[in-house]
């Protein structure tokens, strides 16, 4: 580039800089002093003073849309939901607001209502956002609302809409919603309606273990022990780690059929293929009653060699205590008590999403409300520390 070209290049740069600075000075001079005070407060992490300063800006210039949004979101995060609602409602009601800004304001307002627990207004606002860029997020929030309200039919509908919109499957969630509907029908003694819902659950998610377990329960209650066994055996194909949940059920059904030995054999086969503390415990109980303490002890010892766990050791000591007396019994009881204290935390079920622990198994985590987030295995089996 020659000297003339360089001069022109730097001259244009200087002129552009002068124009930018001039525009910046013009725009800055048009802003109220409170705006800069608010920025200063924010930089110094003085949120309360910053909010008051920005509120003054809004009073002076109601057209500051972005500042309305910023204040509304800040109010909601701070738990001042009433103020957030007023801020966003003011935007929604403005007739001169651009459509995309109104959609944004309505989406923020819906979240305010949700945070405040005003679910009917939140629902109406989210529904109004159909066909907007906020539709997917709104459907996610609606799914959350309907689960809170236990409105399972609407939750199923929202799941279908989400699938149509995003292509992401929601059959697993829908299966749980159908199971919840079935549970309600069973509580009202509407067995036929419950069966329909459970079949719908298996239709949207053939791997729904919960639906199979509930269908087997219905069959057993109706006197169809053999049919119940066949339904529960299907759990092995769906997800074998859930077999411990049907172990007691299978034994009960086999007893009703007059063939407990068949149930014991089936459980032994499952335990050999899928090591499980709960399966072992069920077998232990039935073997003690049917074959005596020594048979139960041998079974636990063999399983402990194959799958060593502290919980298994506790069960081994329990088996040995059944046929021992005197001072040796007292010594073993002392050891067992020590191991029991150590293993109490290892016997818990644990949510893989939030880590919440419970002594009973849940399909729906009571802490984070995730579906099927509990492993049917105890914490020790999943390698989780106490």
**Which has the closest alpha carbon to 39: 49, 50, 27?**
50
**Which has the closest alpha carbon to 220: 193, 246, 200, 202?**
246
Contacts for 174 with CB less than 8 Å, ≥ 6 apart = 156, 159, 160, 201, 204, 205
* Maximum pairwise Cα distance, the chain: 110
From residue 253, alpha-carbon distances to 125, 212, 229, 266 in Å are 51, 15, 7, 12
Question: Residues annotated as binding site for Fe cation?
Answer: 351, 354, 365, 368
Question: Residues annotated as binding site?
Answer: 351, 354, 365, 368
- Give the tokens for residue 278: 């709960």
């Amino acid at each position: 580039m020659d000297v003339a070209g360089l001069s022109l290049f730097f001259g244009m740069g200087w002129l552009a800089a002068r124009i930018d600075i001039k525009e910046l000075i013009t725009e800055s001079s048009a802003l109220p002093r409170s705006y800069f005070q608010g920025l200063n407060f924010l930089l110094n992490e003085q949120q309360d003073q910053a909010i008051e300063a920005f509120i003054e800006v809004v009073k002076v210039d109601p057209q500051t849309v972005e500042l309305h949004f910023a204040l509304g979101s800040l109010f909601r995060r701070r738990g001042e939901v009433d103020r957030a609602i007023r801020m966003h409602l003011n935007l929604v009601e403005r007739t001169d607001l651009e459509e995309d800004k109104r959609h944004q304001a309505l989406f923020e307002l819906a979240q305010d209502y949700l945070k405040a627990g005003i679910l009917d207004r939140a629902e109406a606002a989210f529904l109004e956002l159909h066909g907007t860029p906020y539709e997917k997020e709104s459907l996610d929030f609606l799914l959350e609302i309907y689960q809170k309200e236990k409105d399972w039919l609407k939750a199923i509908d929202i799941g279908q809409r989400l699938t149509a919109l995003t292509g992401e499957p929601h059959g697993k969630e829908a299966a749980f919603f159908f199971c919840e509907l079935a549970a309600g029908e069973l509580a009202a003694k509407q067995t036929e309606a419950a069966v329909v819902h459970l079949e719908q659950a298996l239709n949207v998610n053939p791997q729904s273990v919960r639906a199979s377990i509930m269908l087997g329960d219905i069959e057993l209650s109706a006197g169809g022990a053999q049919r119940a066994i066949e339904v529960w055996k299907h759990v092995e194909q769906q997800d074998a780690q859930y077999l411990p949940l049907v172990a007691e059920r299978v034994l009960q059904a086999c007893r009703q059929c007059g063939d407990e030995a068949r149930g014991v054999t089936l459980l032994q086969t499952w335990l050999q293929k899928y090591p499980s503390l709960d399966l072992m415990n069920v077998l232990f109980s039935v073997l003690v009653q049917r074959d005596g303490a020594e048979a139960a002890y041998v079974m636990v010892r063999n399983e402990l060699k194959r799958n060593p766990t502290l919980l298994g050791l506790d069960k081994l000591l329990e088996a040995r205590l059944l046929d021992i007396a005197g001072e040796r019994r007292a010594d073993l009881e002392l050891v067992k008590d020590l191991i029991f204290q150590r293993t109490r935390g290892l016997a818990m079920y644990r949510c893989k999403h939030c880590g919440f622990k419970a002594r009973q198994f849940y399909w729906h985590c009571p802490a984070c409300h995730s579906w099927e987030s509990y492993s049917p295995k105890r914490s020790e089996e999943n390698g989780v520390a106490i």
